Structure 1
Amino acid sequence: MADQPFSLTRPDVSAASRPGHLPVIVTYLQMTAPPAHEPVRQPKGNLSLQRANPPTWSFYRYLYDTVGEPWLWHERRRMPRKELERSILDPLVEVWVLYVDGTPAGFAELDRRTSETDLSYFGLIPDFIGHKLGPWLLDSIIRKAWEGGAKKLLVNTCSFDHPKALPLYQSMGFVPIRHVAREVRDPRLDGVLPRSAGEHIPLAG
């Protein structure tokens, strides 16, 4: 029988098979050439995109925790400080911060430590969601990745993330290459995240 064509659409999430765990679908995407479209127009207002070079651990954790809490980002909350600092202080890791009127509004992280550049993290602080900043920020980071010598650009997103995340990546030129079904321990049950985090995701049973 011929192989089934790969679906660009994320599969449905099935129920968790283990108590205390959450089912999640992770979609991996890649971009193999710089974007062909015109740069996204910068939104109105006093915006700036600056590299934290390097970021302090506390400032990075503020960005990661504030941006990621609604979407259950938990991996780097669990990471020992020294291990996290080794990563974010590496000169091949770039943390770009979006400011609006001098206030941090979001960030993106490019990891160039391998031959394939990874857009490790990307997101907006909740107060700034819905102000049309995401497409401009993402487009700007993609261009910085290629201008900095990327040969291929990778990113992943999951079913915990904002529902517009996957379509946004695709609209910017990323192409899904695989979907992976996983189960993760609900970080709210272990106190890694507050129980109020990820309101759109029910607590694991």
Structure 2
Amino acid sequence: MDNTAPVTTYYLEMTAAHQLREKPQPEGLVVMEAEQKEFRFNRYLYQLVGEPWQWVDKLSLPDAEWRRYAEREQLRTWVAYERGSIAGYYELEQQPQGNIQIAYFGLAPRYVGRGFGGYLLSHALRSAWDWNPEQTRRVWVHTCTLDHPGALANYQARGMSVYKTETE
């Protein structure tokens, strides 16, 4: 990977639940919410899914900061399993003014390219809209050129639109 190339960040949003273009659930893939909050599990998921994409900014955080992040009421975590193994995960963060951010989203390395990402993203968007339907006004996420080459296309295929780009 060329670390000298400029990095472009894309900010995407969906402003109505009816904009969601769902991908069907692949056979054998089950998505469950981790209802019992455990910061160590979030840290493990972050490392498992983020390693190929250099998600390193949070790895050095002390346990207390991980706990504050992962165990608060405004954060919910879902995990995708295939035959009992972790295939991927996502975190949703409830924010002010009816915003919900897909804070983290991705597949475990051995599951990339197996057709699970579209369904997992569909599940994430549906869960975001269902979290507090009376108050949710927008679901948003950001991705960048360091992410999986298909990430931006997946977000757009599910009905999200780019509202801002930044290049550094």
Q: Calculate the TM-score normalised by the size of structure 2.
A: 0.89
Question: Does structure 1 conserve the Cα–Cα contact (< 8 Å) formed by 2:128 and 2:139?
Answer: yes
Give the corresponding residue for 1:80: 62
Structure 2 alignment gaps of length 5 or more: none
**2:36 corresponds to which letter in structure 1?**
P
Give the corresponding residue for 2:48: 66
The ranges of structure 1 where at least 4 consecutive aligned residues each deviate by more than 3 angstroms after the TM superposition are 35-39
What is the alpha-carbon distance in structure 1 between the residues aligned to residue 167 and residue 60 of structure 2? Answer: 22
Give the corresponding residue for 1:25: 8
Give the number of equivalent residue pairs: 163
Name the SS for the 2:68 alignment partner.
helix
Tell me whether 1:103 sits opposite 2:85 in the alignment: yes
Distance 1:24 1:78, change over 3 A: farther
The offset of 1:78, in angstroms, is 3.1
Give the corresponding residue for 1:49: 31
Which range moves more in the overlay, 106-115 or 134-143? 106-115
Name the SS for the 2:30 alignment partner.
strand
Which range moves more in the overlay, 32-41 or 151-160? 32-41
Give the corresponding residue for 1:159: 145
What is the alpha-carbon distance in structure 1 between the residues aligned to residue 45 and residue 83 of structure 2? Answer: 17
What is the alpha-carbon distance in structure 2 between the residues aligned to residue 161 and residue 151 of structure 1? Answer: 26
Question: Does structure 1 conserve the Cα–Cα contact (< 8 Å) formed by 2:8 and 2:166?
Answer: yes
RMSD value, Cα: 1.9
The offset of 1:114, in angstroms, is 2.3
**1:133 corresponds to which letter in structure 2?**
F
Structure 1 alignment gaps of length 5 or more: 1-14, 17-21, 183-205
The offset of 1:109, in angstroms, is 0.5
Give the corresponding residue for 1:170: 156
The offset of 1:125, in angstroms, is 0.1
The offset of 1:105, in angstroms, is 0.9
What is the alpha-carbon distance in structure 1 between the residues aligned to residue 23 and residue 153 of structure 2? Answer: 16
Distance 1:98 1:152, change over 3 A: same
Question: Does structure 2 conserve the Cα–Cα contact (< 8 Å) formed by 1:35 and 1:173?
Answer: no
**1:130 corresponds to which letter in structure 2?**
G
What is the alpha-carbon distance in structure 2 between the residues aligned to residue 54 and residue 75 of structure 1? Answer: 25
Tell me whether 1:34 sits opposite 2:17 in the alignment: yes
**1:180 corresponds to which letter in structure 2?**
E
Tell me whether 1:125 sits opposite 2:108 in the alignment: yes
Report which of the two has the higher share of helix. 2
Q: Percent of pairs identical after alignment?
A: 35
